[in-house]
Structure 1
Amino acid sequence: MATTTLPEFLRSRRERLHPESTGRRRTPGLRREEVAARAGVSVTWYTWLEQGRGGVPSDDVLERLARALELDDTNREMLFLLAHARPPPRRYTPPSEVTPTLQRVLDSLRVPAFVKTPTFQIVAWNRAAVAVIGDYAALAERDRNMLRRVFHPEAATFLPHGEDMRRTALAAFRVDIERAGASEEAAALVDELMQTSEEFRRLWAENELSTHGVKSRRFFRPEVGELLFDASTFSVDDSDGLSMVVLSPADDASARGVEQLLNDHGGR
């Protein structure tokens, strides 16, 4: 089956729009000249675009067409994929709140899991995360940030082999904030850590980049000793950049340790 083309996509979205006038029309949707006027492009050029001979539109023109055609985020992404074979640039907005459904997903897990923003701010967590990592609710909001925690001078008390975690977390942070678009929050966090952490300055200068992937993470709790996890990160749809991190015990000893900590913190 043939895939959708850019001309087909533009025509179909134009025909779905309701004209502002109330007069009867022979064809559905807006006329080409109406879309062109909304987007600030010439009627001739837009007509060629729908005919497959208008050339490759710039990002700016695609954004104007997306607004003119009243596209939601999914259709805006499809517009860019059809025109440029890549997603559109991210438009940074403050991440949305965690939904009750997502919180129920977290609460159903017997392994540590939490939800973070592109700037690594922790906005939701489950009981296992509290048992293994610490009680986020007891922290001030600014201190619920992964980078602030792993680059804190006292991080060594609960993060054995913290060098690897700091390096991989920072490499993923750099990718996340670029995907999300520039933000004052990200810039302020980087400036702060550049001033307060010599190790942050050293690692930031290395300019290392990586996606989250599956990473090994080690935590130390006096009650059970060292715990080894495989950390997996999952994007949360329709959430303006939120992602969920799940820490799966990497061996039987770590799984038993998590269960013991959960029981010590009140079980289910």
Structure 2
Amino acid sequence: MSTNNDKRREFATFLRARRAEVSPRQVGLPAYERSRKVAGLRREEVAGRAGISVDYYTRLEQARLPAPSGSVLDALARALLLDDDQRDYLRQLADLAPARRQRRSRHQVVPAAVLAVLADLRTTPAVVLGRFMDVLAWNDLAAELLLDFASVPEEHRNYLWLTFLDPRTRERVPDWDLSAGECVAYLRMDAGRYPSDPRLAELVAELSAGDSDFQHWWTTYRVSGRSFGSKRILHPVVGEVRLDWQVLTVAQERDQFLAVMPAADEESRQRLTALSTP
């Protein structure tokens, strides 16, 4: 099965999901017509807002056409009120590069220079994430604050798997719903880049079977590429630690990211220092 065909189906599913989420009121249409049977927009309403024919839009939603032009993509993005991340995701799915059979992703190796940076970050927790949020490397403080990743079997050393299926992770994240939902949105963005990767299919299947929250969030087609934010960790020894995280792209490996999590306030900094002191 070609990557282009997979992307075409993903493109169609994403259009349908977004159309269902946009209410008539958001785009200035009557919300309570008797004939309206769905909460979202009708196909003809999206087509009209995008300036394309209903037949053409219907075929896009049915995955019966190749990716549209850039101008049509922009029109669809405006019609469906897409944010910047969703626009990027739509463009990834509309890539017109020649189809290739996508094999299993090669083994991910963290560059030595990045491992050296991790080792030097003694008072700031940090991890290296790869495709589909696989946890590839971490420093001692991240292991102490978040989880002893070395104790986790390599096949489960994935941030999503740990978030949804490891109870220790849930116990340490007070804002679990927010954090978990954002993780799913990151994975959906990766799905646009590697739609045929068997690793993706295996991970989604395992998480869907193991957690109903993941299954629900996955079907909402929320996407995100946010590279900074804040989070709270509830550590059993030092208590609550507030972090301001940043995600930095690894220059040598474009699908690897260094996530650094410095303390957000002085009290959290002192607690991180206590954890990092032998």
TM-score normalised per structure 1: 0.62
Match of 1:96 among 108, 119, 126: 108
What is the alpha-carbon distance in structure 2 between the residues aligned to residue 184 and residue 202 of structure 1? 21
Larger RCO: Structure 1 or Structure 2 (Cα < 8 Å, ≥ 6 residues apart)? Answer: 2
229, 252, 260: which is aligned to 2:266? 252
Q: CA deviation at 1:247?
A: 0.8
1:161 correspondence with 2:187: no
Q: CA deviation at 1:185?
A: 0.3
Higher mean alpha-carbon deviation, 176-185 vs 104-113, is at 176-185
Contact 1:120 1:173 in 2 (8 A): yes
> Structure 1 residues 149, 184: closer, same or farther in 2, change over 3 A?
same
Task: String of CA shifts for 1:214-250, please: whole Å, max 9, x gaps.
Answer: 1222111121111111121111123251111111211
1:200 maps to which of 199, 206, 214:
214
Match of 2:45 in 1: none
Quote how far apart the aligned CAs of 1:256 are.
0.9
What is the alpha-carbon distance in structure 1 between the residues aligned to residue 119 and residue 192 of structure 2? 30
Mapped partners of 2:260, 2:108: distance in 1: 20
Larger Rg: 1
TM superposition shift of 1:175 = 0.8
Structure 2: state its 5+ residue gaps: 1-94
* Counterpart residue identity of residue 194, structure 1: S
Q: CA deviation at 1:180?
A: 4.3
- Consecutive unaligned residues of structure 1, counting only runs of 5 or more, are 1-85
Change (3 A) 1:138 1:178: same
Structure 2 SS opposite 1:227: strand
How far apart are residue 152 of structure 1 and its match? 2.0
Q: How is 1:170-181 mapped onto 2 (pairs within 5 angstroms)?
A: 170-180=184-194
Aligned length in residues: 180
Residue 234, structure 1, aligned to residue 221, structure 2: no
Alignment-derived partner of residue 27 in structure 1:
none
Could you say what secondary structure the match of 1:182 adopts?
A: coil
The TM-score normalised by the length of structure 2 is 0.60
| CA distance in structure 1 between the partners assigned to 2:244 and 2:190 by the alignment | 20
In structure 2, do the counterparts of structure 1 residues 184 and 152 end up closer, same or farther at CA, with 3 Å as the change threshold? same
User: Relative to 1, partners in 2 of residues 1:208 and 1:262: Cα closer, same or farther, differing over 3 Å?
Assistant: same
- Aligned residue for 2:226? 212
Q: Provide Cα deviations, 1:85-142, integer angstroms capped at 9, x if missing partner.
A: x997997742531122110011111201111112111111111111211221122102
Distance (Å, rounded) in 2 between the aligned partners of 1:100 and 1:108: 13
Shift of 1:174: 1.1
- In structure 2, how many angstroms separate the alpha carbons of the residues matched to 1:94 and 1:116? 15
**How many angstroms apart in 2 are the aligned matches of 1:123 and 1:232?**
17
CA contact (8 A) 1:95 1:239 kept: no
CA RMSD of aligned residues (A): 2.4
2:117 to 76, 91, 105: 105
List structure 1 segments (4+ residues) > 4 angstroms apart after TM superposition. 86-92
Instruction: Measure, in 2, the Cα distance between the counterparts of 1:139 and 1:195.
Output: 20
When structure 1 is superposed on structure 2, of 244-253 and 93-102 the one drifting more is: 93-102
User: Contact (CA 8 Å) 2:188, 2:218: kept in 1 or not?
Assistant: no
Contact 1:118 1:177 in 2 (8 A): no
